[in-house]
Homo-oligomer: A and B are copies of this chain.
Amino acid sequence: MSNINKKPEVIQLSHGGGGQETNTLIKSLFFSAFDNPILNNDEDAARLQLSGDTAFTTDSFTVSPLFFAGGDIGKLAIAGTVNDLAVMGAKPEYLSCSFIIEEGFELGKLKKIVRSMANEMDKSGAKIVCGDTKVVPKGCADGLLINTSGIGHIQVDGVSVNNLKLGDVIIVSRDIGRHGAAILMAREGLTLETTLISDCATLWPAIKCLIEAGLELHAMRDATRGGLSAVLNEWAIASNVGITVEECAIPVCDEVKGLCELYGFEPFDLANEGTFLIAMPEAEAIKALRIMHTFDSEAPAAIIGRVSEERTGKVVLKTPWGSSRYLDLPQGELLPRIC
């Protein structure tokens, strides 16, 4: 009872001042959650031993709301950057993490997000090795923004947006549109009778198995902002090929279909945060699917299309009714702050 009127502890401007309070926050919260020998060195930069072909990527996360069905900004900030490395065929190893926190942000929420980040890093073995914390006055940023950059060693040659070839099939790792739909649901305060959760997840375990199986992977990409449409269009242009996909082969769950009908969206344009596409020779596709099915048995990976020499630079969607149309790069902004 005595706690009812107790105000929650909040982040103050002094937590970002670079002095005593900043040190306390960094050591008691970040260092203890992200603990590893490289991070705990008190230097301005992490010291790494690297050699060979390395991937380097960055992403800022501005998702709203910070907590959504299936994840939170912390899980997303780790999975997002780890996945950008993984789809390059790179083992995610070292991450940087930079927080921009609005003055007055609840410390309890920050702790929850930080734990979620640590938990998600366990999925790939990546480590946060350097960081930065800024606190901005109330109103200068909405709650919390996170940037993660990542470094990883490339384990396989030739995986590239430029490398789609005639005879390749297109595989999607699971049903599409869940992250976009989950964020939309959270924003609109919708409750569905069934549970729709974001696909937000670390893809490295599945991709690692595909690489270790020695499969010939021509291109991989996680279908984030801009969804399936954006990836396929980028591939078609960069590799100068045509891509044809069969609408009825693309897995979309009923909840996502329903929300799309309600709001006039297309599931192909909705963001995903744990769903990836592969282009690879048809001959090896069954082996790849078998591996991928061990990771997502409820919404299994499927062949959705193939590379063709017709209509180069374009993506053609074949509808269940026998007609076909171009699947274009999305225009405008469906859902701001999706990631």
Q: Which residues of A contact B (CB under 8 A)?
A: 12-14, 16-23, 41-60, 62, 64, 84-85, 87-88, 90, 94, 96-100, 103, 129-132, 134-137, 139-142, 145, 147, 149-151, 154, 160-162, 221-222, 224-226, 229-230, 234, 238, 269, 271, 329-334, 336-337, 339
Most buried by B among A52, A88, A134, A224: A134
Residues in B whose Cβ lies below 8 Å from that of A329: 19-20, 23
> Smallest CB–CB gap between A124 and chain B, Å?
14
Interface pair B45/A50, CB less than 8 Å apart = no
Q: With A147-B98, A332-B17 known to touch, is A162 a contact of B45 (CB < 8 Å)? A: no
Residues in B whose Cβ lies below 8 Å from that of A87: 44
Inter-chain CA distance A140–B150, complex, in Å, is 26
> Smallest CB–CB gap between A169 and chain B, Å?
21
Interface pair A62/B330, CB less than 8 Å apart = no
Q: With A14-B332, A20-B331 known to touch, is A46 a contact of B55 (CB < 8 Å)? A: yes
Inter-chain CA distance A56–B50, complex, in Å, is 11
Interface pair A43/B88, CB less than 8 Å apart = yes
Interface pair A161/B225, CB less than 8 Å apart = no
Which secondary structure dominates chain A's binding surface?
Answer: mixed
Copies of this protein, total: 2
Inter-chain CA distance A47–B271, complex, in Å, is 25
Chain B residue with Cβ nearest A152: B45
**Contact of A88 (CB < 8 Å), options: B16, B44, B140, B230:** B44
Interface pair A42/B225, CB less than 8 Å apart = no
Q: With A59-B98, A140-B337 known to touch, is A18 a contact of B50 (CB < 8 Å)? A: no
Interface pair A337/B20, CB less than 8 Å apart = no
Inter-chain CA distance A331–B12, complex, in Å, is 12
Interface pair B135/A98, CB less than 8 Å apart = no
**Contact of A19 (CB < 8 Å), options: B21, B88, B136, B332:** B332
Interface pair A56/B129, CB less than 8 Å apart = yes
> Smallest CB–CB gap between A56 and chain B, Å?
5
Interface pair A44/B17, CB less than 8 Å apart = no
Inter-chain CA distance A150–B129, complex, in Å, is 13
Inter-chain CA distance A90–B50, complex, in Å, is 14
> Smallest CB–CB gap between A210 and chain B, Å?
16
Interface pair B50/A52, CB less than 8 Å apart = yes
Interface pair A60/B147, CB less than 8 Å apart = yes
Interface pair A130/B58, CB less than 8 Å apart = yes
Residues in B whose Cβ lies below 8 Å from that of A55: 45-48
Chain B residue with Cβ nearest A59: B132
Inter-chain CA distance A56–B58, complex, in Å, is 13
Residues in B whose Cβ lies below 8 Å from that of A269: 19
**Contact of A222 (CB < 8 Å), options: B44, B147, B154, B331:** B44
Inter-chain CA distance A107–B108, complex, in Å, is 38
Residues in B whose Cβ lies below 8 Å from that of A41: 161
> Smallest CB–CB gap between A75 and chain B, Å?
18
> Smallest CB–CB gap between A131 and chain B, Å?
7
Residues in B whose Cβ lies below 8 Å from that of A224: 18
Q: With A44-B221, A53-B47, A147-B147 known to touch, is A58 a contact of B132 (CB < 8 Å)? A: yes
